A and B are shown apart, each in its own frame.
Chain A
Amino acid sequence: MKVRLKLFATYRRYLPPDSSGNALDLTVPPGARVGDLLAQVGVPERESLVILVNGRDAGPERVLQEGDAVAVFPALAGG
């Protein structure tokens, strides 16, 4: 199953060194969750992590579907 992961801002550090742009096309097994996808590229699951799947808020437990676009970025901390 193919999904696209976009890493923004400071999370770009988890992109493979030879990648261009900030998107990764990845293959995951059926039933994989967003959390599994993040583990695959080494992004730690923190509370301050913002996850959007196809533009909508989602948690790490969200089960991925073929063609999903997952965007992750760090939240601006503090108030």
Chain B
Amino acid sequence: MDELLLINGKFHTQDSRYPNATSVATRGGRIRAVGNAGEEGTIRDLVGPDARVIDLQGRLVLPGLTDAHFHFRDWALGLRRLALAGVESLAGLRERLAQRAEETPPGEWILGQGWNESRWPEPRMPTRSDLDEAAPNQPVILWRSDLHLAVANSQALREAGITADTPNPPEGLIDRDESGAPTGILREKAIGLVKDVIPPPTEDETVEAMREGFGRLHRLGLTSLHDHRIMGGDDGPPAFHAYQRLQASGDLALRLWMSIPSERLDEAVALGLRSGFGDDYLRVGHVKAFSDGGQGARTAWMLEPYEDTGDCGMPLTPMEEIAAIVRKADRAGLAVAVHAIGDRANRELITLFERVTQHTIPVTPIPHRIEHVQVIRPGDVRRLAQLDVAASVQPIHVTDDMPMTEQSIGARSRFAYPFRDMLDAGVTLAFGSDAPVADPNPLFGIHAAVTRQTRDGDPPGGWYPRQRLSVAEAVWGFTMGPACISGRAHELGSISPGKLADLVVLDRDIFEIEPQAIHQAQVTMTIFDGRVVYER
């Protein structure tokens, strides 16, 4: 049985019984013992002669990090797509696309993602003619970084049968020019018109991409993910299938809390599934529903109109339908995770949870949760804190989306990402990245929560700095927070005897360095399930 003895570390245990731990012994995937300073000898006696001894040379060790909002299949497959996150102008996007088109046979699809025009010199979204010039011979679709909007070229629109006469699908928009012709920009469920005609990746391709993905995430110190369904939930079955294949071959190298699309709630209930079913590696998680869209696409549902479009966005699922989902799931022992970005969506949802769940004792210890809680009024923060409903939030969006938020909601930006207010009010917070929407590096997330500045230090002093968190609070959000909201705080989230042996070693002490430098910290070792899965 694998045994590790870690000595000379600075363990941030998050366990009040071990405030100054310097050593840890693991055995067979569990933490066997934790030793405070001066107890190293005792800990050493607990392992056999074959244990691997690792001298940490005073380095900081955190509990393995969990990303509580991740789209793993999309992210892993995206590693093979045209990556546009770093593109700094429309010309740059066209150049990258033209290059890819040269390497791609005519007629074969080109998929790309990650562009975000809000920081470009000319902040205009690309249209189909921009794409046609760069890639005239292949169908192309390029998702915006928020995944709520995509742009397609003429060939892709043709293959999808989208013309000036195509009506907008329910909960979707096809942007059109003055003549009524589609511009190539597709919003929300209109993206599905094109997506439906792209040949899906094979399961072998998915499994391969996932294997590569595990390694990439270990380098970032991630050992667990809460894996969320994308809108429509079509990624659910192929993702679940691939996870089970990887699990059967012993290759599942992350702990996955796998959400079920609300479109499949009836089947889940009929099968008798409950949130939490599974083992140490793969468990059935929350039922995922959507109440509104995104701020970048101006489809998040707001109390007052956007500054630039003059409308208030839209609900994506009627609240009564969400109430029915919550009621049914609640009775069946399934917890629900509802996407809500806008202040109207959050207000309505909190009212719904008050009405539907407040006076019943749930079947499962796993709380319901709201995903993003991006714009929320102070009174609603206080109401949320009174509920047994957790907030799953993404600090990296704060800094990625500052300009877009200012542009879309102006002075109401003071209600955006109010992490300090939520924590002080008593809301349980779990942090994630929403990858591939944003970079999955959790140290970028911790940096953003602590500084509310971009990694270039903008703006000086931080954006609405009153909402900054301490480093310890931010680390909690990537460790104990996700453990609590998945009912697994007895097994994950802290460095405690008996818990699963997931640990991450950093090259510098993020509690001691300047907060502005936290994002530069690197993982030097990741231990998953008592095994060293990454070391530098």
- B365–A8 CB distance below 8 A: yes
Write out the residue numbers on chain A whose beta carbons fall within 8 Å of the beta carbon of B55: none
A-B contact count (CB 8 A): 84
B165 at the interface (CB under 8 A from A): no
Write out the residue numbers on chain B whose beta carbons fall within 8 Å of the beta carbon of A35: none
B15 at the interface (CB under 8 A from A): yes
Contact of A58 (CB < 8 Å), options: B17, B364, B367, B490? B17
Q: How far is the CA of A69 from the CA of B424 in the complex (A)?
A: 11
Given contact pairs A20-B386, A50-B490, A56 touches B366 in the complex (Cβ within 8 A): no
Q: How far is the CA of A55 from the CA of B426 in the complex (A)?
A: 11
Number of interface residues of A (CB under 8 A): 29
Write out the residue numbers on chain A whose beta carbons fall within 8 Å of the beta carbon of B13: 57
A45-76: CB near B (< 8 Å → 1, else 0) gives: 00010101111111100100000010101111
- B365–A75 CB distance below 8 A: yes
Write out the residue numbers on chain A whose beta carbons fall within 8 Å of the beta carbon of B16: 53-54, 56-58, 62
- A75–B490 CB distance below 8 A: yes
Q: What is the distance, in angstroms, from A9's C-beta to the closest C-beta of chain B?
A: 4
- B361–A23 CB distance below 8 A: no
- A75–B494 CB distance below 8 A: no
- B280–A79 CB distance below 8 A: yes
B338-381: CB near A (< 8 Å → 1, else 0) gives: 00000000000000000000000111111100000000000000
- B276–A21 CB distance below 8 A: no
- A76–B14 CB distance below 8 A: no
B192 at the interface (CB under 8 A from A): no
Q: How far is the CA of A69 from the CA of B365 in the complex (A)?
A: 19
DSSP majority for the B interface? loop
Q: How far is the CA of A54 from the CA of B426 in the complex (A)?
A: 11
B480's closest neighbor in chain A, by CB? A55
- A75–B487 CB distance below 8 A: yes
Q: How far is the CA of A59 from the CA of B15 in the complex (A)?
A: 9
Given contact pairs A20-B386, A73-B489, A52 touches B480 in the complex (Cβ within 8 A): yes
Q: What is the distance, in angstroms, from B356's C-beta to the closest C-beta of chain A?
A: 14
Q: How far is the CA of A54 from the CA of B480 in the complex (A)?
A: 12
Write out the residue numbers on chain B whose beta carbons fall within 8 Å of the beta carbon of A58: 15-17
- A12–B496 CB distance below 8 A: no
Number of interface residues of B (CB under 8 A): 32
Q: How far is the CA of A71 from the CA of B481 in the complex (A)?
A: 12
Write out the residue numbers on chain A whose beta carbons fall within 8 Å of the beta carbon of B276: 76, 78
Write out the residue numbers on chain B whose beta carbons fall within 8 Å of the beta carbon of A9: 362, 364-367, 388, 487
A47's closest neighbor in chain B, by CB? B490
Q: How far is the CA of A55 from the CA of B16 in the complex (A)?
A: 9
Q: How far is the CA of A63 from the CA of B387 in the complex (A)?
A: 27
Q: What is the distance, in angstroms, from A54's C-beta to the closest C-beta of chain B?
A: 8
- A6–B426 CB distance below 8 A: yes
Q: How far is the CA of A52 from the CA of B17 in the complex (A)?
A: 11
B306 at the interface (CB under 8 A from A): no
A10-45: CB near B (< 8 Å → 1, else 0) gives: 101100000011110000000000000000000000
B237-268: CB near A (< 8 Å → 1, else 0) gives: 00000000000000000000000000000000
B476 at the interface (CB under 8 A from A): yes
Write out the residue numbers on chain A whose beta carbons fall within 8 Å of the beta carbon of B486: 76
B327 at the interface (CB under 8 A from A): no
- B280–A75 CB distance below 8 A: no
Given contact pairs A76-B366, A76-B488, A10 touches B361 in the complex (Cβ within 8 A): yes
- B14–A56 CB distance below 8 A: yes
- A56–B15 CB distance below 8 A: yes
- A12–B15 CB distance below 8 A: no
Q: How far is the CA of A50 from the CA of B532 in the complex (A)?
A: 28
Q: Apart from A10-B365, A57-B13, what are 10 other A-B pairs with CB-CB below 8 Å?
A: A9-B365, A50-B490, A55-B476, A57-B489, A58-B16, A73-B365, A73-B489, A74-B365, A75-B487, A76-B486
8 example contacts (A-B, Cβ-Cβ < 8 A) are as follows A10-B363, A10-B365, A12-B388, A48-B490, A56-B14, A57-B494, A75-B488, A75-B490
